[in-house]
Amino acid sequence: MPYIDSDGVQLYAEETGTGTPVVFVHEFAADYRAWEAQVRRFSRDYRCITYNARGYPPSGVPSDGGAYGYERHREDLRAILDGFGIDAAHIVGLSMGAYAGLQFALRYPGRVRSLLFASGGSGSTRTGAERDAYAARARADAGRMLRDGMEAGADTYTLGPARTQLLAKDPRGWAEFKTRLAEHSALGSSLTLRNYQARRPSLFDSEAELRDLDVPVLLAVGDEDDAVIEVNLFLKRVLPRAGLWISPNTGHPVNLEEPDSFNAEAARFLAAAERGRWGPRRG
């Protein structure tokens, strides 16, 4: 299981299967293990790569907050592709990972075969007041995790308004999700919240760049994930080659809540992108 160097930070990565590469990028509250249902499905046909972001052991945990900005996460994704000798890949990201994937596509469009942008866009608001409130909540969560530890943080985080859907549908899966979150580094999680989540630019401010992104995109969102629905509707309107899938009665970790539906939609999307059949919006 290789470690990939990214500007002096060692990123833990795993590779399964052969074929066209698909790189999975995890959300804030998860790690590479959250993609297991997807790796089991897609490694039959693709070369699947998962990795832990900086701040998530066994990846390195820098102590400098400046090492956690969204640009650094974008470049970590580039380092993963470079480390595995990949020119271009399908990128599948959830939430924080979706944001990193979209920023990667904006900077390196030629290296992205397609982008599955799942549950992405938290903190992207239309007003400064809303943005300030989101950043304040992220900093408060960061302080609690650092002060009280990850077990206490997991107790609170996994009962958020877009997390209880998983508990209702799959109590065993929710318990596993909570246990894994409690295993994360309090320092790494806190610095990620303060320097990535709280400071990343709103996607509403990037309309011009988004309109020029000629990459197949599937936007995937749960209809009970209120924090990201509006920005995904915006992305559907401005991204030239975006489709939108809304999973009913679903919260934030859509790949965990509805793995069968998520895998089916992802498979259809990847196949269409491979054939050049995920074209521009009509009408």
Which of 71, 27, 75, 69 has its CA nearest to residue 52? 27
Mean per-residue pLDDT, 55-68: 97
DSSP string, 143-205: HHHHHH-HHHHHHHHTTSTTTHHHHHH-HHHHHHHHHHHHTS-HHHHHHHIIIIITTSPPGGG
pLDDT at 125: 79
Pairwise CA distance, residues 239 & 217, whole Å: 8
For residue 69, the 8-state DSSP code is: S
Range with lowest mean pLDDT among 60-64, 125-129, 248-252? 125-129
Q: Judge whether 138 and 123 are in contact, CB under 8 Å.
A: yes
pLDDT at 14: 98
Which CATH class, in words, describes the domain spanning 3-274?
A: alpha beta
* Angle of CA points 247, 235, 193, to nearest 5°: 80
pLDDT higher than 70, residue 42:
yes
Paired with 15 in beta bridges are: 49
Q: Where do we find the tokens 């469009």?
A: 109
Pairwise CA distance, residues 183 & 93, whole Å: 21
pLDDT at 139: 93
pLDDT per residue over 111-159, tens digit each?
999 999 999 998 887 777 888 899 999 999 999 999 999 999 999 999 9
Mean per-residue pLDDT, 4-22: 98
pLDDT at 233: 97
Strands 217-222 and 89-94 come out as: unpaired
For residue 109, the 8-state DSSP code is: G
Q: Judge whether 47 and 22 are in contact, CB under 8 Å.
A: yes
Average pLDDT, the chain: 96
Give kind and range of the element (H or E) at residue 81.
Answer: helix 70-83
What are the domain boundaries of the chain? 3-274
For residue 35, the 8-state DSSP code is: G
Residue 206 has a CB neighbour count (10 Å cut-off) of: 17
pLDDT at 124: 85
Pairwise CA distance, residues 99 & 260, whole Å: 23
pLDDT at 1: 58
In percent, the amount of the chain with pLDDT more than 70 equals 99
pLDDT per residue over 168-203, tens digit each?
999 999 999 999 999 999 999 999 999 999 999 999
